[in-house]
Amino acid sequence: MKQLLKAVLIAVALVLLIKVFAFTSCTIPSAGMENTLFRGERVIVNKWSYGLRLPLMAWTGYHRLAARPVRRGDILLFNNPAGQGCIDRREVFINRCIGLPGDTLMLNGELIQTSDQVLSPDSKLLYAYPGEQEELVEKAMRQAGITDNKLMGYDEGNFLRSFSHYEIYLLKQELREQVTFRSLQTETTDGVHPYVVPARGKAVKVYPWNAKLLCNTILQHEGRQARLQGDTLQVDGKAVDSYTFTKDYHWVASNNSVSMCDSRLFGFVPDDHIIGRASLIWFSKDNEAPFWQGYRWPRFFSRVQ
């Protein structure tokens, strides 16, 4: 009896050690990751994929052994970035990483990634607009503070000027659709803007479309006071036009855009919230079939599904 009890205790201790320091398992709670992961499937998460995040963060803080970067397309298990209390005690989510630190993503008004060509907010493109509306455009430029922007030429009654994505945004706000601007190089869908994923030590500029997201990130994860005054971001009571982040962040998305349990809900995911990479489905079955018919063998899944 003593030998059996000893064997059981050793087995339990080994399981706990493996779960804390090597692998863990989680059950997919929703249809958000279909058709890669289905509701009810159980997956193995490798805690060493990006280096082991040491436990007991409430006492020891954040430390990661043998740290390695996340790869675009990885399916991540991470703690809720918008939760309360110690990070490693919060509920967990599982999503696909589509934005790495320093990436620029083109997101629409619902913060869904689009297929629009990736642009820097300040990169210049050539635009054409009706020549008879030049007076309106010049007035809007003055009101928006756009200076040193000379005519680039003429084309069949249209005037040509170069504007950045940010300048075009300001002009459209001022003109309220009175003037139609047509890009001669690449078209960006209305309401789609470039968002830079923050990286440690890199400054991210503040624009009207990303100000709220940056404000929430600074307030929740950077340990600073932040608030919005209109489109102006204030950090520790001072207006800023950019902010240098102290952590690496990631943008994650569900496969199913109807599911809101991703970065559209809780924003950027800091590196200290990431537990590991999901890679192996160890239990899966068709709930409408008997167990012996619906069970599927364990399988790895692709990073790019």
Q: What is the 3-state secondary structure (H, E, C) of 223-235?
A: CCCEEEECCEEEE
Q: How confident is the model at residue 174 (pLDDT cuts 50, 70, 90)?
A: very high
**pLDDT of 273 strictly over 50:** yes
The confidence score (pLDDT) of residue 304 equals 43
Domain with CATH 2.10.109.10 in the chain: 1-101+249-305
Largest separation between any pair of C-alpha atoms in the chain: 96
User: What single-letter DSSP state applies at residue 65?
Assistant: E
Q: Which of 137-151, 177-191, 212-226, 249-263 has the highest mean pLDDT?
A: 212-226
Residue 169 is given by DSSP the state H
Q: Tell whether the model's pLDDT for residue 20 goes beyond 80.
A: no
Amino acid identity for residue 242 in this structure: S
Name the more confident of 7 and 304.
Answer: 7
Superfamily in which the 1-101+249-305 domain is placed by CATH: Umud Fragment, subunit A (2.10.109.10)
Predicted local confidence at residue 289, as pLDDT: 46
Q: Is 14 helix (H, G, I), strand (E, B) or coil?
A: helix
Q: Mean pLDDT over residues 267-290, rounded? A: 82
Q: Are 250 and 269 in contact (CB under 8 A)?
A: yes
Mean pLDDT of 74-92: 94
Assess whether pLDDT exceeds 60 at residue 246. Answer: yes
Q: Which residue has the tokens 């689009």?
A: 114
CA-CA distance, 274 to 87, in Å (whole number)? 10
Q: What is the pLDDT of residue 264?
A: 95
Portions of the chain given CATH number 3.30.70.2250: 124-183
Across the range 279-304, mean pLDDT stands at: 59
Residue 10 pLDDT: 56
Q: Which CATH code, of 3.40.50.12780, 3.30.70.2250, 1.10.10.10, 3.40.50.300, is assigned to 124-183?
A: 3.30.70.2250
Question: Which of 268, 304, 298, 283 has its CA nearest to residue 41?
Answer: 283
Count Cα neighbours of 127 within 13 Å in the Cβ-side half-sphere: 25
At 261, the pLDDT band (50, 70, 90 cuts) reads confident
Per-residue pLDDT, averaged over 140-147, amounts to: 92
Model confidence at 15, in pLDDT bands (50, 70, 90)?
A: very low
CA distance 50 to 64: 8
- Is the pLDDT confidence value at 295 over 60? no
Using one digit for the tens of pLDDT, what is the confidence trace for 190-218? Answer: 899 999 999 999 999 999 999 999 999 99
Q: How many CB atoms lie within 10 A of CB 17?
A: 10
